[in-house]
Amino acid sequence: MQSDLDKLLGLFDLTDAGDDVFVGQHPEQKTARTFGGQLLAQGVIAAGRTIAKGSPPVHALHAHFIRGGDVERPIHYHVHRSRDARSFANRQVTAMQGDAEVFTMLVAFQDSSAGLEHAVSTPEVPYPDELPPLGEHFKGYEDRIAAFVDALHPIDIRFANDPTWKARETGERLEQNRVWMRADGTLPDNPLLHVATMAYASDTTVLDSIITTHGLSWGIDRLFAATVNHSMWFHRDFRFDEWMLYATESPVAAGSRGLASGRFFTLDGTLATTVVQEALIKHFPARD
């Protein structure tokens, strides 16, 4: 039986349709619309498939989500080669279903070189081996958060604070979330796959701080959320089959949109990646 990580890696095995078009599929565990992390990850793979061997690694990506993907149809990733240089490369990826654009993403590749160095410190939290696996947090909440319980789980997730549904039960309001993550198994020695897996995982828990700031929870409160845009900057090398701390917070929510930012730290405290995501978020309070 395939593991969930094997299923995720299978989603990264895009079909080459020619003319820089690559076709991606959906997992068996389907959601109402295409998971944003899947679009990010498959888009990264599509862009990377047009980069020559030995070319610079991924430096940044900036994605805009245009409409929800149909999980019953494949997605065609059209790659435009904007630039190829010795230490730089740029690609634009447009995900299509028929004539409809699902999302578009700019992916930048750049070699690293010596320069100024500094970074913020990693937050102080318990180590992942001291924390329970995600499944422990599901117990007793299976009916209320069924969408999360039944989803694909290729990422090993360890909350350093209570997840949204438990925080709500205790009345706790969290202005920040701290979550350890890694691929739930060993990834191949291909840096592009590690970037794609992180991109997939980065769309998980990043919005939590927006709603926990208000004492709300996915699956329990009447919430609607849809990602508008998502950016990532890759500062240093990493392996995503090793533990990384995803530290997220929300600096602002206004105009029915919430902004969340996150940082991935390696186990030794090195800041590897920065994430910013904006989403449409609406809360419909229950009527008395």
pLDDT digits (tens, 9 = 90+) for 131-176: 999 999 999 888 888 888 888 999 999 999 999 999 998 899 999 9
Amino acid at 179: V
Q: How buried is 28 (Cβ within 10 angstroms: 0-12 exposed, 13-18 middle, 19+ buried)?
A: exposed
**Domain assignment of residue 117, yes or no:** no
pLDDT digits (tens, 9 = 90+) for 72-83: 999 999 999 999
- 204 labelled catalytic: no
Q: Say which of 104, 122, 164, 277 is annotated catalytic.
A: 277
**Domain assignment of residue 126, yes or no:** no
The predicted structure's pLDDT at residue 59: 95
> Which two tokens mark 33?
């619309």
**Domain assignment of residue 98, yes or no:** yes
Contact indicator for 274, 233 with CB cutoff of 8 Å: yes
Query: Which CATH number belongs to the domain containing residue 95 in this structure?
Result: 2.40.160.210
Task: Answer yes or no: pTM beyond 0.75.
Answer: yes
The predicted structure's pLDDT at residue 286: 77
Q: What does DSSP say about strands 176-183 and 155-159: parallel, antiparallel, or unpaired? A: antiparallel
Contact indicator for 45, 196 with CB cutoff of 8 Å: yes
**Domain assignment of residue 125, yes or no:** no
Q: Say which of 205, 227, 248, 266 is annotated catalytic.
A: 227
The predicted structure's pLDDT at residue 288: 57
The predicted structure's pLDDT at residue 31: 84
Contact indicator for 224, 241 with CB cutoff of 8 Å: no
**Domain assignment of residue 96, yes or no:** yes
**Domain assignment of residue 67, yes or no:** yes
The predicted structure's pLDDT at residue 54: 73
Contact indicator for 284, 222 with CB cutoff of 8 Å: yes
Q: Say which of 184, 203, 208, 241 is annotated catalytic.
A: 203
The predicted structure's pLDDT at residue 262: 97
Residue whose token pair is 């409409």: 67
Domain that holds residue 31: 4-111+133-283
- 164 labelled catalytic: no
**Domain assignment of residue 150, yes or no:** yes
Instruction: Give, in degrees to the nearest 5, the angle at Cα 265 between 236 and 247.
Output: 135
Where the chain has pLDDT below 70, the residues are 288
Backbone angles phi, psi at 7, to 5 degrees: -65, -40
Checking 252-255 for CB contacts under 8 A at 24+ apart, the result is 253/210, 253/213, 253/281
Give the count of domains, the chain. Answer: 1
The predicted structure's pLDDT at residue 219: 87
Residue 249: beta bridge partners?
176, 261
**Domain assignment of residue 116, yes or no:** no
- 129 labelled catalytic: no
